[in-house]
Each structure stands twice: as structure tokens, then as C-alpha cells.
Chain A
Amino acid sequence: MANKSSRRDFVKRSAALVAGAIVLPQIIPSTALGMGRKIAPSDRIVIGSIGVGSQGMSNMRDFLKLKDAVQFVAVCDVDTHHLAKAKETVDMANNNKNCRTYSDYREFLEKEKLDAVSIALPDHWHGIIYSAAANKKLNIYGEKPICRTIKDGQTIVSAVKRNNIIWQTGSWQRSVANFHRGAELAINGRVGKVKYIEVGLPDGSKGIGTPPVQQVPSELNWEMWLGPALKVPYRGVSHWDWRWILDYSGGQLTDWAGHHIDIANWGAGLEHTGPVEISGAGVYPVEGIFNVPVEYDFLCKYGNGIEMRVANASRLPLGMGTTWHGDLGWVHVDRGDVISASDPKILNEVIGENEIHLYKSENHWQNFIDCVRSGKPAIAPVEVAYRAISVALLGEIAMTTGQTIKWDPDKEEIIGNPRASGLLSRPYRQPWTLPTI
């Protein structure tokens, strides 16, 4: 924790940085909250990144903007080009040449003494690396979806809880005003009792067919990129486009579950539970190496009677975003500050003092750093993220099997369907193993 600055300075600068924020950094000594690592309020949070591709770099830049609160010291990636670019970015921000680089996360975790780590990797790596970082008692800013399978998710949630670390999911929509407002209107009954929710996520797009096997570029450690996934020859698809291959991702559905399903759960009080019945259908490419569903449409029934339909946007009347339908009307939110309602009056409603006030953050990355400092939970905690992606992963299982899936959200088990239960995990290729819960 170098470059110490006074607490007063820190608060002043942070306030300027997040002008208008309602939640200013609440500086409580972390020891008071039983944190694993003690961080003095005046210290900068020492942080590094594992995975510095497009999303990892984007998160890193957002953290670098908080330079009075954060000190970036190390980066890790299996692509040396990514590493070089990330180091250059960090060094430029730090005005030195000191950013350390690693191509193996194990060495990174072993050698670096950090307060926090920002992780943005293909989904198939999440189970292992999130757990490993949690077990090192690092506070984690982790990209959504937090897991590729339910089993991975359970392992991650367990590791985060066991190690008592601060977790922030990259579900940044929570820190944007219109989503917060929509969720707060819904949860306070401004559309009446929420009975039905529609969640529109992006449509799938054109595939790339069956590209030829290629020489792995010298900058990429393909074996390490694949990690626990089944070995396949390199065909020019790794960064970014892993999203369209089922070994690594569930496509737009799982990529966006951590946004609009997460928001749906927030406004309906479903953050700590899951559906009891899931059924629906997907449209899969007829050929080509991209094999994630390009269309999907499934219905989740919850124990309290709420139903949630999740579909690609073109199948829904309001397209992208989350719509809570109650017996008095509806509220819809989407990116681009979109918030609309069945009756515009709903949007002018004031939430009373004794009503539910949802957690407020105006800068998702700042919120994480503040919470690392204060020991308070961040706005997008790990179990909430797990519940959001579970909806998509259970939908994926319903679509794959063609069956109605019965789910026990308390025991987190599929009921009476061994075939579907088999899809709750993806076995890891040796020597990789998922830590036991």
C-alpha cells in the first residue's frame, strides 16, 4: 500500500470524482467487519488484473480512473500482446515502468501481495480462477456471468463466503440510475404485485462456418487458454468470439443474464432464490463451429407464483431490457437510460421513507473499492450473481434436453431428472480440477 495519502484527501478527491453520488465512501475500519485483510482507510487499494482482453482492459481503465484510491501493480494473461498492452496502459497511468506481468495465474497469485483482483476471463475458467483468488483471500471484481455451469457457481459462491472477501460482479447496470429506479418502483409495488417479468436479451448473429485449423499465434498460449475445456485445434477463435461456443459460454443468453436477469431479480425480490420450474426452446445453428443458441425463449416459474420469461429481444414486444408486470401496470428498463411504464405517472412516484430503498451506487468500480475499504457488501454480491446466471443456465438445460426442468432453489438441485442433472456441470480436462466446496 504505497503512496499513502491522508484520509481527508481521499474523501475529498473521491467526492469530486463521483460528484453527486449518494453513497460516498463509508470509511469503516475493515477489522470491525471481520474482514480477512485489514486495510486502513487512508491506504490505496493494491490491485491487479487476471485477463486483460477487451473486458479486462475496460475494467482496468475504470479502476485506473480511481487512481487516488487504487494502485494497479500487476497484470496476467495468456496472450503476450494483451499483456504488453495492459502493462503499457498501467505504466502510463502510474507514470513508471513497474507494472509486473504474468502469463500464469498461479504464479500471479503466488507472488503478488494484493488487496484485490479484477478478473475477466472466458467463462470456462471462472470456476477455477475465481475460487483460487478467493482462497488467497483477495477481494474480487469478477466479470459476469460468474460461472459456466451451476456446479462452478456453487463452488465460487462457497469459496467467496468461506474466505469472507468482498465480491463485486461486473453487473454494472446496478450502478446506473434508470435500472435502480425501475427496480425500486417494482419492488415497492408501483406496478402492483409483480406477477410476470419479461427479460429481453440480444439476438444471436451470423456464424463463421467451419474455419480451417490454423497455426496458433506465437503470442497465445492455446493450451492454457483452453485450460479445463476439452482440447480442440486452434481455428482462429479465442478472444471475444469464445462467447459463441458452448464449451466456453452459453452465448448472448448467458453473457447478458448477469445484466437484465440480474436487474429483474433485483426489482422482484428474487435475488436469493431461483425458479422451481423451467421450460422452453432454443434455436441452434445448423452448422459451423459457433454452436450457442441464436434464439431462446423459456419460462421460469417461481415458488411465490411469479413467472419470468427470458427470450432473445426480437421475440418480445418491448425488445431488450427488463419489464416487470404487476396487476396495476408495468415498468420497463433498458440501456441508454430507457425507463418507461404503462402509465407515465408511475415514473413520477416517490418512494416513501419507510419503503424499500435499494442499494445505491453511481460508480460500479468505485463501489467495489469503497467496499473493500469499508468491509460492507458491494452492490452486486456473489450469490446474487450466481442466482442471476442460474436462471440462464437452467434455461439452457431445459432447451438442451427439451424437457421441463424442476429445480429446488434451496437445495440447488434438479429434481428427478438424471440426464438434466448431468448438465449441471462440465467435467474438467485433466489435470485441471474444480476445488471441492
Chain B
Amino acid sequence: MKKQYLLLIVAAGLLTFFSACKNETVYKTLIITGQNNHNWKASSPVLKQILDETGLFSAVIMNTPDKGGNMKTFDPDFSKYKLVVVDYNGDSWSEKTNTAFVEFVKNGGGVVFYHAANNSFPAWKEYNEMTGLGGWGDRNQKDGPYVYYKNNKLVTDTSAGTGGSHGKRREYLVSTRIIDHPITRGLPVRWLHGTDELYSQLRGPAKNMQILATAFADSAAGGGTMRDEPMLMTITFGKGRIFHTAMGHADEGGGPAMQCVGFITTLQRGAEWAVTGDVTQKVPWDFPSAAGVVLRPDFKEMTLEEAFANISSYDITKSTKNLSCIQNKIHSLAGDEQGLLKLEKMMVKVLVAKETTVDAKKLLLRELSWMGSDYSVPAIKDLVSNAELKDEAEFALTRLKK
């Protein structure tokens, strides 16, 4: 008995030790919400999940008092955090909290402003310098210029008018304007975003701001300015780095704007950049392109194991997402012969399985035709006698020169 206790204590000690080590590389993150003209109860847990999913962040959600409540009770200790995510649009914080937040950023704290956070605090000068651009809250020419792209040229427009608008919600194409920024590096330069509000006519101080990506607000798609409106921005304030995403209007459970892999990935990358000035995350295989919107209803990246589990029941009426996941794996193993052989074995296992559909086998045969080795050949030869798979099997064998 004693021995077992000792083991337990040692195990518990080790566990604490390892989790302490792990915590050193995890950025403590504070998500501020509690008031918003948007569904903050839906968005804030999704933001937490998206950030925590990377393994880089450990986020806590802190709610302010309700509207009209005593804001003095909202007094976060920002110094405990590396990153603050603002999902808030409501009553002014206390002077003390405002000052603490400004100090936090000035001293190098990272910030993410999310969607309607740029509606907040129109009268708070430093806050608007941190967001760069904002909308609504009676913002107009006094708050700074409109900033947008027109005919591929950056425009700073000081004309009079209210700040902030959006047409009907829609899917829209996001165009990257700075393709070599750590946040956008390696991402497709054009990608379709899940149905969202397309924030337009934002205006503000726009100091120390870079526009990473824009979206064209097409009037034909349900109202729009016919300008390329800023969607993703970076701002520096003192020593602090700020990532501002105007995207991600939340429905219950997040909805397509938050489930969009483009939104998720840019948020994750923007958050890392805000903390460290660099991005170490890989571009996920399911990042969307101009070809179409890609959603993650559970906010998780599909794993190779899931793709293999799903593909065996593929038929031609279904999504080819599982195949894309496997193709991406083949691609990422380029030059790694052992890794490729391991993957090939997984593919052949599904290929020969009785329960695997003919359509799935056809997909696998096409891939094996070029990435396969001698290992695949006997299994493929067995399929030549199958009338439904003869063409694909011969296609593969011809290419494999067998």
C-alpha cells in the first residue's frame, strides 16, 4: 500500500512539474466580454475554444457587469496576461481600468480586437488609437479618415460622413494586401469567408496601422460601398502589438462567420503575432481559397485518422474533404520515404477492406497511381478483375509501370 501511495505522489508531482513546464509556453489570455450589441454569450466561448485549440493560449473569459452596472467592480489585473481579447461593446470601463489597459498595451501586451469591439468607446482616444479604425457610436470625420482600398490603391479619405455600416450578410472574398506579414505568410491570398457582416466605412486615427486584408463591399450583393474595406489589421501602440479582425459576427454556436477556417486561422495567427511578433503555426490543410468557403462546425481541424475513418464510406454524392486531408498529408510528407510508406500502408488497408465503397477505392487508386510504391502493387493487381475498378486499377498500374 505504502509503495502505491508513494508512486501516486511521485506521479502527481511529475504531472504538476510537466504541466508547469507546459504552462511556460502557453500564453495566458483574457477575453473581455459581458456587454455587446452582438451575441457575446455565443462568441466568447468560441473565441476561447479557437485560441485554446492551438495549444499556445490558455484563455479565461471575464464578464463585465451588465449594462448600467457598477463598472468599478471590473478591475482585471492585466499584468497576469500576455494577451487580451476584446469582445466587448458597452458601457465605459472605469478610469482605473482604462489606464491599466493602456499601460498594459504600451508596455508590450498583446491585444486582439474582435468584430464589434471596434464599435466600443468612441470617446476614448487611446482605445481608438489601438483599434485604428472603428464604426458606429456617432463616429464621423472628427474621429479620423475612412481608410480603404479603391482600384487596388490605399485611400485615406477625410470626407465627412458617419463611420460604420454593413449591407446584408453574405459570403465574401477576402483579398490579402500584405502577403509577407507573419500573419498572412503562406496563406492563400484570396479566400471566401463564411456568411458574415461586411464591416464598411470604418474610420479612425489609423496610426501605425497596416491593412493585411480587405473585402470588396459589392453593392449588388445586398448593399455595399463598392470599396475594398479593411478586414484584418495590425496596429502598434507603444510596445504593444494589436491584431484587429473586423470579421466574425456571431450566431448561436458561432455560426458560419466564426466557423469559417479563414476566420479561425487568422484569429489564431493574429493572436500569436500580437504576443510574440511572429507566427509559428502551420497553415491548416483546410484553409479556404477562392474556390469556396470551408467551415469547421466544431472549430477543430480534421485529423488524418478521422479522414481515413470517413473516407471508406465515401460515395460520389459526398464531400471530398476527407480526400483533401489525405492528399495534404501526402504532400506534407514529400521526401520522407518512411512517412510516405506508412501512409501508403494506411491507404492500402482501406483499399482492400470489404466495407470500403467502390467510389472510395477509385479515389485511393488515383492517389496511389503516383504516390504508391511496390507495396501497393499486389493489392492493386487484385482489383483489375473487379469490373467496377478495372479502369482505375489499370490506370494506377500503368503509372506505377507495373
Contact = CB atoms under 8 A, between A and B. Distances in A.
Contacts of B399: 422, 425-427
B398 interface: yes
Contacts of A422: 369-370, 399-401
Interface string B369-402: 1110000000000000000000110110011110
A427 B394 contact: yes
A163 to B, nearest CB: 27
A263 B401 CA distance: 36
Interface string A413-437: 0000001001101110110000000
Contacts of A400: 331, 370
Nearest to A311: B189
Interface stretch (A10-18, A59-67, A131-139, A205-213): A205-213
Interface in A294-345: 294-295, 312, 314-315
Interface in A40-85: none
Counting chain B CB atoms within 10 Å of each CB, the highest count among A204, A283, A284, A401 belongs to: A283
B288 interface: yes
B289 A210 contact: no
B335 A285 contact: no
A283 B292 contact: no
Interface string B309-320: 000000011111
A287 B324 contact: yes
A92 interface: no
B292 A314 contact: no
Contacts of B287: 286
Interface in B290-348: 290-292, 294, 316-321, 324, 327, 331-332, 334-335
B317 A314 contact: no
B319 A287 contact: yes
B285 to A, nearest CB: 8
Contacts of A203: 190, 290
B179 interface: yes
A284 B316 contact: no
A244 to B, nearest CB: 9
Contacts of B129: none
A402 B331 contact: yes
Given A287-B321, A314-B189, A204 B290 contact: yes
A206 B291 CA distance: 4
A423 B292 contact: no
Contact of B320 (A204, A288, A294): A288
A351 interface: no
Interface residues of B, number: 41
A295 B289 contact: yes
B198 interface: no
Interface string B180-193: 00000000111010
Counting chain A CB atoms within 10 Å of each CB, the highest count among B188, B289, B332 belongs to: B289
A394 B370 CA distance: 15
Given A204-B291, A295-B190, A402-B331, A286 B324 contact: yes
Contacts of B52: none
B328 to A, nearest CB: 9
Contacts of A26: none
B364 to A, nearest CB: 13
A16 B354 CA distance: 71
A436 B401 CA distance: 16
A230 B175 contact: no
B317 A287 contact: no
Interface of B: 175-176, 179, 188-190, 192, 285-292, 294, 316-321, 324, 327, 331-332, 334-335, 362, 366, 369-371, 391-392, 394-395, 398-401
Given A285-B291, A315-B179, 4 more contacts: A213-B316, A294-B188, A294-B289, A427-B399
Interface of A: 203-207, 209-210, 212-213, 230-233, 283-291, 294-295, 312, 314-315, 400-403, 419, 422-423, 425-427, 429-430
